[in-house]
Each structure stands twice: as C-alpha cells, then as structure tokens.
Structure 1
Amino acid sequence: MKAAVYYGPHKLDVTEVARPEPGPGTVQIQVGFNGICGTDLHEYFAGPIFIPTAPHPLTGQQLPLVMGHEFAGTITAVGAGVEGWAEGDRVAVEPIYRCGHCPACQAGNYNICAQIGFHGLMSDGGMAEYTVVPTDMLHKLPDNVSLELGALVEPMSVAYHAATLGEPPADGTAMVFGAGPIGIGLWFALRGKGLEDIYVVEPTPTRRAAIEALGARTLDPTAVDVPAFIAEHTSGRGADAVYDAAGVAPAVETALACVGARRPMVSVAIYEKPLTTPLLRLVMNESRIQGSLCYTSADFEAVIGLMAQGAYDTTGWVTSIGIDEVVDEGFDALHAGTKMKVLVDPSR
C-alpha cells in the first residue's frame, strides 16, 4: 500500500509499505481522509520534535514512521477479541495513546498523560491507505457525517476542548485570535455552545474572508484598536473568554488586553518563539492564562454530535488532495499560506 513515511526534516516519501494487519484488540481501517496538522508541518520543516528518535514507551516505535493523526475511515478487518465493532463501520479516530496509571490518567485527564503518544506521531499513522488502531480510539460516525468531516473531528475536538475550558456564558462575549483551522474550529464550537457574540481577530485578508464567508464577525488588528473596540463593545467589562490560536506575541499581548476581570485567555497554540507575558495585567485584573491540550472522548462525541446536526461547514477552507501530492500540494502549500486545511485522500 502507499504511505507517507517521515524520515526527518524535509524528508517525507510516498512509498510502498506492507499493509498492517490487526492484532488482538485492534482493527484495520481503510483511510478515507487524513488531515495535515500544524504539528505535522512543524515536524516536516523543523523536526523531529514530537516524533521519537528512540522507541516510544507506549508504542515502541520511532522514526521512520508513517505520519497522520487526523483521520477517518472504514473498518476492513477486526483482530481477535474485538467486540462491538465490525467490518464496514465508519469511524473517526481519537489518536491518543495513554499509560492508564499516571495521576492524570487516574483522574480521567488522559489528554495530559505523562507518557502521552499519538497515532501518526509516535506510531505508524493514517497518512496511508490502511492503518491499524486499538478499539479505544474508535468513534462511530453517523450516516449523515461524511468521512471528510470525520477527518476533521480530531482538530475540531482540539478546538472544542479549548472552548469548553474558557467557560464563556451563553450571553457573554468571546474572542478568537487566529483564523486558521483551530480558530475556525473555535468559532464553530462556541456557536455550538450557544454563543452569538463572537469576534475573530485575524490580520490576513484571505483568512478573514474565509471565516467571514462562514458567518463570523472579524476584526483586523492592523486597522482596528482591538482592545479599545472590545472595551466599548462590552461597556468596559472586557471579553468573557479569549482564545489564542495564533501563537505569536502580538496576538497574545492583544488578547490579554481584552480579557475581562477573573476571566481566562485560553492558549491552544504552539509557540515557536519564547513569549514575554505582561503579568501585571493579569495581577491587576485577576485574569489568567489557561492552557489547553488535545481533547478527551467527550469532546470527540460532542463534535460528532454537532456535525450530525449540520453545525460544521467545510466550504472555502478545506481542500482535498491525492497522497502523491502530499508534499507539493500539502506541506509546501500550507507552509506558504496558499491553503488553509488540506485533507489527503489515499485512494486518489
């Protein structure tokens, strides 16, 4: 079968590899679509970062390995002892490996497991025609949720988890900094939670246009004094929840200037450069920075439920490509900013 195998920075080869077969407690999946994530981009252009160069403690794998942790597909074979799943089931995959015994896992917060691993980063993943996963990663897709949407469940769950941590009241004001895929996912999640007063802050015209086409209200920080606008809009109260999905210092500084007293700025970005955080503002406002990592099963189920209700729309920001195009039309195009979200279709 064809697979995109990662060997190191700028070394991703689409090549023929053996089709994996399911063992006990696992299923084989024919991949429908696999999304290219921002983390994948970091690995390709500057890695290995998360991809292990020595055997991972939970998976035993290291590079080279097949990339891909955002995917959905159809079960084509089941291993010994598997119950409740059958060939033909359409599934989205929650790609977390967890140890099950660290304090975080014992508390039910396996998304911050001390030894956390990801299918497609710490093991051979879904950027291939077939992959094999344990059954605890499976989430069944309703008939009206396409495999294309199914491949977006993972990144949309990242956003949904962050939206939940912000605890915005339904009648409150929320702000999203950055209109990339996670920023778009935050807007969808907040809308799904019943919020209407949401502003997306994005300096790039193409990204503003894409999310505006979905119905979002945007602010251009190069043209608008965003903190002053929010102060006036909220009668001085400030935003009830602010989300940083941009990962750059100007966005963080502006976000912290907008957040209301005792309210959070939720960080759901990867920061390539160290940040200098203006702590005095946090102290005087009794506001806080809240980190957000990944998701749990509950987030996956909530996103799938919203997708079944028609709450997510891929128009204008999602592109699909064949696996042979994964470098030029995938990684390079995303890095250049000519595409926003790319799904790889291994059957093309």
Structure 2
Amino acid sequence: MRAAVYHGNRKLSIEDVPEPSPGKGQVKVRVSRNGICGTDLHEYYDGPIFIPQEPHPLTGKSMPVVMGHEFSGVVTEIGPQVVNVREGDHVVIEPIYRCGTCRACRAGHYNLCSVIGFHGLMADGGMAEYTVVPENQVHKLPDQVPLELGALVEPLSVAYHAATMGEVTSDSTALIYGAGPIGIGLWFALRSMGLTEIDVIEPSQTRRSSIEALGARTIDPTTQGVPALIADRTNGEGVDAAFDAAGVAPAVESALQCLAERRPLVSVAIYDKPLSTPLLQLVLRERRIQGTICYTSEDYRAVIRLMAEGHYNTTGWVDTVPLSTVFEQGFEALRAGRLMKVLVDPTR
C-alpha cells in the first residue's frame, strides 16, 4: 500500500509499505481522509520533535513512521477480542495511546498520561491507504456525518476541549486570537455553548475573510488597538475568557490586558519562542493562564454530536489533496499560508 513515511527532518517520502493486519484488540481501517496539522508541519520542518528515535514505551515504534493522526475511514477487518466495532463501520480515530496506570490516567485525564503516545507519531498512522488501531481509539460516526467531515473531529476536539477550559456560560464574552483551524474550531465550540459575543483577532486578511464568511466578528490588530477597543466595549470590565490559538507573544500580552478579573487566558498553541510572562497582569487582577492539551473521549462525543446536528461548516477553509502531492499541495501550501486546512485523500 502507499503511505507517507517520515525519515527525519525534511525527509518525507511516498512509499510502498506492507499492508497492516489487526492483532488482538485491534481494528483495521481503510483511510478516507487524513488531516495535516501544525504538529505535522513542526515535525517535518523542525523535527524530529515528538516522533521518537528510540522505541516508544507504549507502542514500541520509532522513526521511520507513517505520519497522520487526524483521520476517518471504514473498518475493513477486526482482530480477536474486538467487541464493539464491526466491519463496514464508518469511524474516526482518537489517536491517544495511554498507560492507564499513572496518576493522570487513574484520574481519567489520560490526555495528560506521563508516557502518552499518538497514532501517526509514535505508531504508523493514517497518511496511508490502511492503518491498524486499538479498539479504544475508535469512535463510530453517525449516518449524518460524512467521512470527509469526520476527518476534522480530531482538531475540532482540540478546540472543543480548550473551550471547556474557559469556564464560560451563554452570557459570557470571549476573545479568540488566531483564525486558523483551531481558532475556527474554538469559534464553533463557543457558539455551541451559547456565546454570541465573540471577537476573533487575526492580522491576516485571508483568514479574517474566511471566518467572517462563517458568521464571525473579527478585529484586525494591525489597524486597531485591541485592549482599548475591548475596554470601550465592556465599559472597562474586560472579557470573561480569552483563547490563544496564535502562539505569538503579542497575542498573549493583548489577551491578558483584555481579561476581566479572575478570568482565564486559555493557551491552545505551540510557542516557537520562549515567552516573557507579564506577571503583573496576572497578580493585580488575579488573572491566570490555563494550559490545555488534546482532548478525551467526552470531547470527541460532543464534537460528533454537533456534527450530526449540522453545527459545523467547512466552506472556504478546508481543501483536499491526493496523497501523491502531500508535500507540494499539503505541507508547502500550509506553511506558505496558501491554504488553511488540508485533508489528504490516500485513494487519489
């Protein structure tokens, strides 16, 4: 079968590799679509970062590895002791490997597992025609959710999980910094929680236009002073939650100035450069910075339910490319900002 295999920094090739077979407790999936995310870009251009060069303690896998952790597909075969999945099921994969025994896992927070692994990083992933996953990573898609949309459950669950960390209600006001795929996912998630007063801060005209077409209200920080504008809109009280999906220092500084007292800035970004935390902004108003990572099955179920209800709209920000052009039309196009979200179709 054909697969995108990562061999190290800027070394990704489309290769013929053996088609996998499911073992005990495993499910074989014919991949429909696999999304490229920021982590994949970091691994290709700056890595290896998370892809192990020594065998991972949970999967036993090390580089080279078939990439891809955001994907949907159809079950074609099940291994022994698989109970809740059947051949022909349309599914999406929650790609976390967890130990089940560390403190975080015992508390139900397996997204914080001390030896966490990911399908497509620490095990051969979904940027291929077929892949094999543990049964506990499989979520069935309802009939109303097409496989193309299902491939977005993973990044949208990242955003949904982050939105829950903002501790918002339907009466809350919120700011989102960054209108990339996670920023768009945050906007959809907050809207599902009943929020109507949401501003998206984005310097790129292309990205502002994309999220405005979905119905969002935006602010261009290159032409408007965001803290002053928010202070005026809120009579100096500030917003109830801010979310950083931009990953740059100016976004963090601006967000903290816009927050009301005792409210969170939820960081759902990877920072390329160290940040100088403006502690005075935290101390004087008892604000806080809240980290967030991944998701749990609860977030997956929530996103799938919202998809079945028709809540998400992919118009204008999602493109699909063949596996054969994953580098040129996928990685390079995303890095250059020509596209926002790319799904890879391994059947094309």
Is the TM-score greater than 0.5?
Answer: yes
State the secondary structure of the residue aligned to 2:18. Answer: coil
- The CA distance in 1 between the partners of 2:325 and 2:309, in whole Å, is 32
TM-fit CA distance, 1:172: 1.2
- The CA distance in 1 between the partners of 2:164 and 2:234, in whole Å, is 21
Match of 2:202 in 1: 202
Contact 2:169 2:193 in 1 (8 A): no
Runs of 4+ in 1 over 4 A off after TM superposition: none
TM-fit CA distance, 1:158: 0.2
Q: Which amino acid aligns with 2:251?
A: A
Q: Please give the per-residue CA displacement for 1:241-266, whole angstroms capped at 9, x wherever unaligned.
A: 10000000111111111111000000
Q: Please give the per-residue CA displacement for 1:8-66, whole angstroms capped at 9, x wherever unaligned.
A: 11110011100000001000000000000100000000000000000000000000010
TM-score w.r.t. the length of structure 1 is 0.99
TM-fit CA distance, 1:168: 1.3
Match of 2:138 in 1: 138
TM-score w.r.t. the length of structure 2 is 0.99
The alignment status of 1:62 with 2:62, answered yes or no, reads yes
TM-fit CA distance, 1:84: 1.7
Match of 2:153 in 1: 153
Q: Please give the per-residue CA displacement for 1:183-228, whole angstroms capped at 9, x wherever unaligned.
A: 0000010011111110000000000000000000000001111111
State the secondary structure of the residue aligned to 1:344. Answer: strand
Match of 2:185 in 1: 185
Match of 1:106 in 2: 106
State the secondary structure of the residue aligned to 1:273. Answer: coil
- The CA distance in 2 between the partners of 1:231 and 1:20, in whole Å, is 57
Identity of aligned residues (%): 65
- The CA distance in 2 between the partners of 1:218 and 1:72, in whole Å, is 31
Deviates most, 251-260 or 33-42 = 251-260
TM-fit CA distance, 1:83: 1.1
Q: Please give the per-residue CA displacement for 1:43-97, whole angstroms capped at 9, x wherever unaligned.
A: 0000000000000000000000100000000000000111121110000100000
The alignment status of 1:38 with 2:44, answered yes or no, reads no
Contact 2:244 2:252 in 1 (8 A): yes
TM-fit CA distance, 1:229: 1.0
TM-fit CA distance, 1:234: 1.4
Match of 1:322 in 2: 322
Match of 1:5 in 2: 5
Q: Please give the per-residue CA displacement for 1:154-199, whole angstroms capped at 9, x wherever unaligned.
A: 0000000000000112111011000000000000100111111100
Q: Please give the per-residue CA displacement for 1:282-328, whole angstroms capped at 9, x wherever unaligned.
A: 00010100000000000000000001111101100000000001000
Unaligned stretches of 5+ residues in structure 1: none
Q: CA RMSD in A?
A: 0.5
Counterparts of 1:300-339 in structure 2, within 5 Å, are 300-339=300-339
Contact 1:169 1:240 in 2 (8 A): no
Deviates most, 167-176 or 179-188 = 167-176
Contact 2:29 2:74 in 1 (8 A): yes
The alignment status of 1:258 with 2:258, answered yes or no, reads yes
The alignment status of 1:230 with 2:230, answered yes or no, reads yes
Contact 1:28 1:133 in 2 (8 A): yes
Unaligned stretches of 5+ residues in structure 2: none
- The CA distance in 1 between the partners of 2:110 and 2:259, in whole Å, is 29
Corresponding residue pairs, total:
348
